[in-house]
Amino acid sequence: MKTIDQLNFEGKKALIRVDFNVPLNDKFEITDDTRIAAAIPTINKIIKDGGSVILMSHLGRPKNGPEAKLSLKHLVNHLSKALNVNVKFVTDCIGSEVETTVSHLKAGEVLLLENLRFYAEEQNGDTDFANKLAKLADVYVNDAFGTAHRAHASTAVIANFVGENKCFGYVMANEIVNLEKLVNEGERPITAIMGGAKVSSKITIITKLMDKVDKIIIGGGMSYTFAKAMGGKVGDSLVENDKLDLALSLIAEAKEKGVELLIPVDSLNADAFSNDANTVVTDIDKVEDGWMGLDISDKTKTIYREAILSSRTILWNGPMGVFEMDKFAEGTKFVANAIADATAKGAFSLVGGGDSVAAVKKFNMQDKVSYVSTGGGAMLEYLEGKELPGVKAINS
Ligand code: AMP
């Protein structure tokens, strides 16, 4: 794997594809700067070597050309503070103004280009656009794991125009090293904890994981589709009625492959989707009409804790319940604690996917798991065994 550590950037201009797709409020203030913070070590390494840095990213989903609210200019102050450097900004990402600014860029300076997705060519993977970007610098660095599963101009196609002058930044390198620990180097038993709202969004990954893991723990809204498929009564819980057969086939496949598939046995039910709702605990297959299951309960927690503590490698994707409401956050918190305890005993634990990362942050447990992945879709595709275009572009 070729990383920035193998290169010396003295006197070089590095063009880094970062993932600065950060959430902004109405005042264009950054409400979560995790992605910016993650890229700082890569930028600093290049500056320390005596190189200059050109940053390119997308922000949001511009529909048809430039949109003021999606301009990367909103990030300049925050980034300048984070780097302790006066970050320069240009109102385009290709063209003569950009080229002139780049030509004047001195060692230690940082230039942020405008939102790549103001050009449709970015997402279309246009070769001419990619070539124009490539020409701006001496070395191309890909550090945007969040978009590594997309074959866009700046994430993959650009690599065709830089020869051997390409490498991974620290974010990408860390993701690959840690995901490999799970995919190909995982010490057994390997357990995948899959939660979240719907089975439909997790089918592919659950099926693929059957070939890699020893246990799959199911939680969250999708549990009720499994419970109903097995003949249970799930009241008004979230159910995908068109996925009942699929749930049964996943159960059969797990049996055939010798994978232990754990489905909740009990459920914390509410009479409304609200933190003020009345609650009652029942077996998961005995939820009355008028009630919806919004979290796992004590019997399930005990079984899941035991399964987690006896694992050496753990993947966690998706909450066990509606953790955004305190009343239904206990199951997710309990599982997070079990993962932390297993990690303290020497297991490798990787948390990924938007909502489990949000849960880990909510419970302030980032430091108690081995690794928190920054890429949702990219992480799932990597775990499914797909070769990500952004990774392939650097490796080939
Ligand atoms: P996902 O994006 O598929 O990982 O789903 C995450 C969402 O699933 C979170 O917003 C949770 O509140 C929601 N969720 C978890 N458990 C349940 C449940 N039992 N019923 C409805 N929604 C749930």
Distance CA 122, CA 130 (A): 8
**By alpha-carbon position, which residue is closest to atom 1 of ligand 1?**
196
Residue 202 Cα: closest atom of ligand 1: 3
* Residue ranges in the chain whose pLDDT is less than 70: 354
What spacing in Å lies between the alpha carbon of 112 and ligand 1's midpoint? Answer: 36
In contact, 290 and 236? CB cutoff 8 Å = yes
Distances (CA, A) of 252 to 216, 239, 245, 259, 315: 13, 20, 10, 10, 22
Ligand 1, residues at Cβ distance < 6 Å:
196-198, 201, 220-221, 238, 293-294, 318-319, 321-322, 324, 353, 355
Residue 1 DSSP symbol: -
Of 295, 281, 314, which Cα lies nearest the Cα of 187?
314
What spacing in Å lies between the alpha carbon of 222 and ligand 1's midpoint? Answer: 8
What spacing in Å lies between the alpha carbon of 219 and ligand 1's midpoint? Answer: 9
What spacing in Å lies between the alpha carbon of 293 and ligand 1's midpoint? Answer: 11
**By alpha-carbon position, which residue is closest to atom 17 of ligand 1?**
221
Residue 318 Cα: closest atom of ligand 1: 4
Of 293, 207, 296, which Cα lies nearest the Cα of 247?
207
Q: Which domains does the chain have, with CATH numbers?
A: 4-170 (3.40.50.1260), 186-383 (3.40.50.1260)
In contact, 15 and 111? CB cutoff 8 Å = no
361 class by beta-carbon count within 10 Å (0-12 exposed, 13-18 middle, 19+ buried): middle
What spacing in Å lies between the alpha carbon of 380 and ligand 1's midpoint? Answer: 17
What does the pLDDT read at residue 34?
Answer: 87
Residue 195 Cα: closest atom of ligand 1: 4
Two tokens, residue 162: 């830089």
Positions annotated as catalytic residues are 35, 198, 354, 377
**By alpha-carbon position, which residue is closest to atom 12 of ligand 1?**
322
Best residue among 238, 332, 334 to mutate for probing ligand 1's pocket (most ligand atoms within 8 Å of CB) is: 238
Residue 201 Cα: closest atom of ligand 1: 3
H-helix or E-strand containing 269? strand 266-270
Distance CA 349, CA 312 (A): 8
Residue 224 Cα: closest atom of ligand 1: 19
Question: Strand 110-112's sheet: what is its strand order?
Answer: 88-89, 110-112, 52-56, 13-17, 139-142, 166-168
What spacing in Å lies between the alpha carbon of 180 and ligand 1's midpoint? Answer: 27
- Number of neighbouring beta carbons within 10 Å of residue 150: 21
